[in-house]
A and B are shown apart, each in its own frame.
Chain A
Amino acid sequence: MRDHQPITLETFNGLWRKGDPEDTPPDHFSDCNNVSFLGVASFQTRPGVGLHQNVLAPLGNIVRMYNYITQDKNTLIVLTYNTTTNTGSIYHVIDGTTVFGPLLSIVGMTDFAFVAYAGRAYISPFSSFLTGGLNIEKGLQNEFLYVYKGDGTAARKAGANAPTGTIAIANGAAGNTDPGFKLFGVVFETDTGYLSPPAAFNSFTTSAAQSVSFSSIPVSVQAFVTKRHIVATKTIINYNGNTTGYIYYFIPNAILNDNVTTTLPDISFFDIDLLDDASELLDNFAEIPAGAGLTLYHNRLILYTTFTDISLAYCSLPGEPEAFDQVDGLIVAPLDGNPITNANELRDIFYVNKRNRTLAYSDNGDVPSSWGPPTVIDQAIGAPIHGVATFIDSGSTSVNYLIMASYKGIVVFNGVYALPELSWKIADLWNELDRNEFRKIQFLNDSIGQLLYIVLPTGILLVGDYNNGLDPKNIRWTKWEFNFNIRTIALVNINELIIGAGL
């Protein structure tokens, strides 16, 4: 001991898992568990967990959870999975004592995508499918996008069926129309504002100085249809027999504010009154196929990776999250056999990820099909299905940068990828993860507490404390284990961490 030189440890900078353990710097841990960092240099035992539900039968086997901000509450939307029946069920957890649901139960739903829009929840069921030895995530076959209104009623398919039957038209009382041949149709409107494609077409030659009366107006069998609109073309000089080949407009005031009445008498309008174009509804999906991901871009709901088209993203009309044009409301990523796994907006650019690729699209003000071809940002770094960090309780991925859990590691993306990766100090730990299980990674960023939370495929939580700096050198990593397997996490009430435990 005579030559012993004492070493004073003044700082503890977290886990180091890179190379030989003997190469671990003195101020780092060669291993650690269940510690968190205190101040800039100290550590302590991590905080404990308490029960989120105080009910007789709390939800069990949680597999996915999102924070769901309704118009007046900060709540959770939760997927549980019954292994015996292979059924996923979605619940709305209002608080510790109030749970709605199941809102939706689907056989084979092992995961779901979610976006909150105008207080409503848009839900897309998906699962993992083994393809060529690799798990890929895509929407369930023969399943659809669902909408939940946040009020405890069951979720229903987004969209609505188009009207059926044929509307009847006749001259009404004295009024005003431009005389001549016109086509008429009916549009359904749902309680979430979705407008169906026009249908139930019929033709009629209007007479001058007379209004138009409608009868046999179709009624929807879908109870969530709450309004019906009558649409019409302007006067057609030479009709070619193609009922959908003309531009339809909403007739002002030709609205039935129910789903019961079948007549609407004495509507007057001139061709010049027909301003609101309904033709863009003609190509809308009545039922939107399920995808593996949902996100928002320029007020459009984006749904990507359906069962049949793994490189395709459908884009709704701006402000109409259920109106997906089947013809030109889509973008197609290069068909390389890999599915689209993530998509996010950053500084007005729409970035699309595959597992190891990053592409960029830009809204040119025209239909989405004209946004391409994409700019290839990176041919090696992508992100898994839940691998882009969402910030505090916003559910949004974008502040001034994105943080992604790529195969390479945890990387910051601000238009380009910043290297070395944030997880450089724990590269060995990251590389030991099963890449085929990266779908289980979920990533949150508590930008207030300056903590990154990453659910690892092994059921533990990787925590990155960046109070000392969001860079590979100063971030402090630690692992948190519990007496349960962590499957999913969410931040509510700004940065309160909620943990979902599953089998």
Chain B
Amino acid sequence: MGPIVGTYSLILGSYSAASIGTWAVVFVVDSVAEVQPFNDANVLAAAAATTGLFDANTKYIRLENPGDVSFLFNPSSDLILDGEVIDRFSLPAGFEARIPNQSITESFSGSPTRIFEKTATEYNNLPIGIQRNLALLYGPIGREITGAGTYRFNNFHAYNGSYSIWSLTVEFERLNHRVIVSDTGGGLSGRTWTLVDSNQVSTAVTPTSQTSTEVIFDFDSFSDGSYYLVGSGVQFASFQLGGNVTITGSGGINLGGTANIVYIADSTGIYTLVPGKLNDTIYTGLADPETLEVKIPDPFIKTAYLGES
């Protein structure tokens, strides 16, 4: 068995079906550096006086987009998904933050801000000036807000149905693939699971074991391609901070590589090939960790007549 390739923490809401309609917006910001704490009491008091939505004594998290578009989140009450689900082929790089629409009160000064919604989610009462950009199924839909003015978002639909919470990239046949999903917040009970391949073909999969805090899958083999393991339910429909979700991967055979589950927000950048180096060091696009040591993905050879590496 190969070692764990990567361990990442997400903060997810529980998957309660209650309060449908509260959650629907995903913001993407370009840089970790743009996420900052914000507790300027004077500003907040003024904002509270104007909007009635802010508390001068709360320490908020500010997402600041280029063009002075910023949003404030209350980490104790606003749901934030910290990080982006990797998809090397379709998803944009960046950070996601899922927030309740009631928190969006800041002005947009003209620079596009991207809003992402799950594909096939119904659109509802988007203000004038919001344009839609399509993305792949099971990836987010990008929308750009353009123009000046103050926008309030109301009446977004919830994320009904399945939503990809992580992707599993598999390059070639392997044995003994084990994927573990754990949620210390206990939000995994009752989920059913679907494996979606790169052609968007869905196959129901049954976990080896499943509790409210941990789901284990053992897959036999994969062909080339990218796969999405999708949990059922109304996602992010209710606000409640969950625990950490840890994604781990193990498996692989000698000479045949390992299950390659790496959670990276943005691995783009400039690299140097280092003779004799036994692993890859990659940028993550995250504040912590900024870089990641990963195994060289799936080194293998396949000969002509043995049929297996």
Complex Cα spacing A25 to B304, Å = 7
In the docked arrangement, what's the CA distance between A491 and B270, Å? 12
B246-288: which residues lie under 8 A (CB-CB) from chain A? Answer: 257, 260, 262, 264, 266-283, 285
Contact at A502–B268, with CB atoms within 8 Å? yes
Flag whether B174 is at the interface (Cβ < 8 A): no
Q: CB-nearest residue of chain A relative to B294?
A: A483
**Docked-complex contact A49 and B304, CB < 8 angstroms:** no
Decide if B301 touches A484 in the complex (CB within 8 Å).
no
* Given known contacts A50-B271, A501-B269, A43 and B301 CB-to-CB distance under 8 angstroms: yes
What is the CA–CA distance of A410 and B115 in the complex, to the nearest angstrom? 44
**Is the C-beta of A179 less than 8 angstroms from some C-beta in chain B?**
no
Chain B CB count within 10 A is highest, among A23, A47, A481, for A47
What distance in Å separates the Cβ of B89 from its nearest Cβ neighbour in chain A? Answer: 8
Chain A residues near B296: list those with CB within 8 A: 34, 45-46, 48
**A35, CB-defined interface residue at 8 Å:** yes
**C-beta contact mask, A12-29 vs B, less than 8 Å → 1, else 0?**
100010000111111011
Q: Which residues of B are found within 8 Å of A485, using beta-carbon distances? A: 88, 268
Please tell me if the beta carbons of B298 and A53 are within 8 angstroms of each other in the complex.
Answer: no
In the bound complex, what is the Cα–Cα distance between A46 and B298 (angstroms)? 11
A78-101, CB under 8 A of B: which get 1 and which 0? 100001110000000100000000
Q: Once the chains bind, are A12 and B270 in contact (CB under 8 Å)? A: no
Quick check: A28 and B304 within 8 Å, CB to CB? yes
Partner of B270, one of A35, A62, A481: A62
A7 CB to nearest B CB, Å: 7
Asked if B119 is an interface residue, CB under 8 A from chain A, the answer is no
**CA of A382 to CA of B106, assembled, Å:** 54
The answer on a CB contact under 8 Å between A49 and B305 is no
- CB of A32 within 8 A of CB of B283, answer no
> Are A53 and B270 touching (Cβ within 8 A)?
yes
A496 contacts B by Cβ under 8 Å:
yes
A151 to B144, CA, bound (A): 38
The reply to whether A50 and B283 contact each other, CB–CB distance below 8 Å, is: no
A58 and B304 CA atoms in complex are apart in Å by 43
A61 within 8 A of B: yes
The reply on B185 being an interface residue by CB < 8 A is no
Confirm or deny: A200 has a beta carbon within 8 angstroms of a beta carbon on chain B: no
* Min C-beta distance of A319 to chain B, whole Å: 33
B19 CB–A CB distance under 8 Å: no
Confirm or deny: A9 has a beta carbon within 8 angstroms of a beta carbon on chain B.
yes
Which chain B residues numbered 284 to 309 have a C-beta less than 8 Å away from chain A?
285, 291, 294, 296-305
A499 within 8 A of B: yes
Contacts across chains A and B counted by CB atoms under 8 Å: 170
- The distance in angstroms between the C-alpha atoms of A500 and B144, with both chains bound, is 28
Q: Which of B88, B93, B264, B269 has the most CB of A within 10 A?
A: B269
| Alpha-carbon gap, A32 to B279, bound state (A) | 18
User: Taking the nearest CB of chain B, how far is it from the CB of A47, in angstroms?
Assistant: 5
**0 or 1 for each of A383-399: is its CB under 8 Å from B? (1 = yes):** 00000000000000000
Of the candidates B30, B274, B303, which one forms a contact with A49 in the assembled complex, judged by CB atoms under 8 Å apart?
B274
Q: In the bound complex, what is the Cα–Cα distance between A22 and B304 (angstroms)?
A: 6
B217 within 8 A of A: no
Any chain B CB within 8 A of the CB of A256? no
Q: Judging by beta carbons under 8 Å apart, are A50 and B272 in contact? A: yes
In contact, A49 and B271 (Cβ under 8 angstroms)? yes
B112 interface hit (Cβ, 8 Å)? yes
Contact between A29 and B303, CB atoms less than 8 A apart: yes
Q: Report the bound CA distance from A294 to B123 in whole Å.
A: 48
Q: Which residue of A30, A48, A53, A56 is within 8 Å of B279 (Cβ)?
A: A48
Q: Hey, which chain B residues are within 8 Å of A51, CB to CB? A: 269-272, 281-283, 291
Q: How far apart are the CA atoms of A52 and B278 in the complex, in Å?
A: 17
Say if the beta carbon of B33 comes within 8 Å of chain A. yes
Residues of B within 8 A of A28 (CB): 304
B interface residues, how many (CB within 8 angstroms)? 46
> In the assembly, what is the distance between CA of A32 and CA of B299, in Å?
7
Interface residue? A33 (CB, 8 A): yes
Contacts of A84 in B (CB 8 A): 30, 112, 114, 144
How far is it, in angstroms, between the C-alpha of A240 and the C-alpha of B265 when the chains are bound? 71
When chains A and B are docked, how far (Å) is the Cα of A21 from the Cα of B302? Answer: 10
From 260 to 296 in chain A, residues with beta carbon under 8 angstroms from any chain B beta carbon are: none
Task: Determine whether the beta carbon of B172 is less than 8 Å from that of A499.
Answer: no
Query: Which residue of the partner chain, among B88, B262, B272, contacts A496 with CB atoms under 8 Å?
Result: B272
Enumerate chain B residues within 8 angstroms of A9, measured Cβ to Cβ: 303
Question: Is the C-beta of A65 less than 8 angstroms from some C-beta in chain B?
Answer: yes
In the bound complex, do residue A60 and residue B269 qualify as a contact, i.e. CB atoms below 8 Å apart? yes
Q: Does A31 contact B (CB under 8 A)?
A: yes
Chain B residues positioned under 8 Å from A60 (CB to CB) = 93, 266, 268-269, 283, 285
Task: Tell me which of B291, B294, B304 contacts A30 (CB under 8 A).
Answer: B304
Closest B residue by C-beta to A76: B270
Contact A483 B262 (CB under 8 A): yes
A52-B269, A499-B270 known; A26+B303 contact, CB < 8 A: yes
Contact between A483 and B270 (Cβ–Cβ < 8 Å)?
A: no
Tell me whether B82 is interfacial, beta carbon within 8 Å.
no
Q: Is A497 an interface residue (CB 8 A)?
A: yes
In the bound assembly, the distance between CA atoms of A130 and B307 in angstroms comes to 42
Residues of B within 8 A of A498 (CB): 270-273
Interchain CB contact under 8 A, A484 and B267: yes
Q: Are B301 and A32 in contact (CB under 8 A)?
A: yes
CB of B218 closer than 8 Å to a CB of A? no
A57 close to B (CB within 8 Å): yes
The answer to whether A484 touches B88, judged by C-beta atoms less than 8 angstroms apart, is yes
Q: What's the Cα separation between A83 and B94 when bound, in Å?
A: 12
Would B299 and A49 count as touching, CB distance under 8 A? Answer: no
Q: Confirm or deny: A482 has a beta carbon within 8 angstroms of a beta carbon on chain B.
A: yes
- Nearest-neighbour CB distance to chain A for B195, whole angstroms, equals 21
24 contacts between A and B (CB under 8 A): A7-B305, A24-B305, A29-B303, A31-B172, A47-B274, A48-B278, A49-B271, A49-B277, A50-B281, A51-B281, A51-B282, A51-B291, A53-B269, A60-B93, A62-B268, A481-B298, A484-B267, A497-B273, A498-B270, A498-B273, A500-B269, A501-B270, A503-B92, A503-B268
Q: What are the 10 A-B residue pairs with the smallest beta carbon separation, nearest first?
A: A24-B304, A48-B277, A34-B299, A52-B270, A497-B273, A484-B267, A49-B271, A32-B301, A31-B302, A45-B299
